[in-house]
């Protein structure tokens, strides 16, 4: 997983704020997809000349 800075945040969501495991996993999945989108953002865009 490419989210080392988010581990404490996800732990707090689940343990302190009472979020379910399903919710935390959905947040992780969405964040991973967003990171991947940001990496590939300009690769698929057509070039304007």
Domain map (residue ranges) of the chain: 4-40
Q: Do 35 and 2 touch, CB atoms closer than 8 A?
A: yes
H runs (alpha helix) in 1-49: 7-15, 21-40
Give the global pTM.
0.62
| Cα torsion 35, 38, 41, 43: sign | negative
**Alpha-carbon gap, residue 26 to 13, rounded angstroms:** 12
Using one digit for the tens of pLDDT, what is the confidence trace for 19-39? 888 888 898 899 888 888 888
Residue 2 pLDDT > 60: no
Report the pLDDT value the prediction gives residue 32, as an integer from 0 to 100: 85
Using one digit for the tens of pLDDT, what is the confidence trace for 37-47? 888 876 665 66
């Amino acid at each position: 997983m490419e989210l080392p800075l988010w581990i404490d945040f996800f732990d707090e969501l689940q343990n302190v704020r009472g979020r379910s495991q399903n919710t935390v996993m959905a947040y992780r999945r969405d964040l991973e997809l967003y990171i991947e989108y940001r990496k590939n953002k300009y690769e698929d865009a057509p070039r304007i000349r």
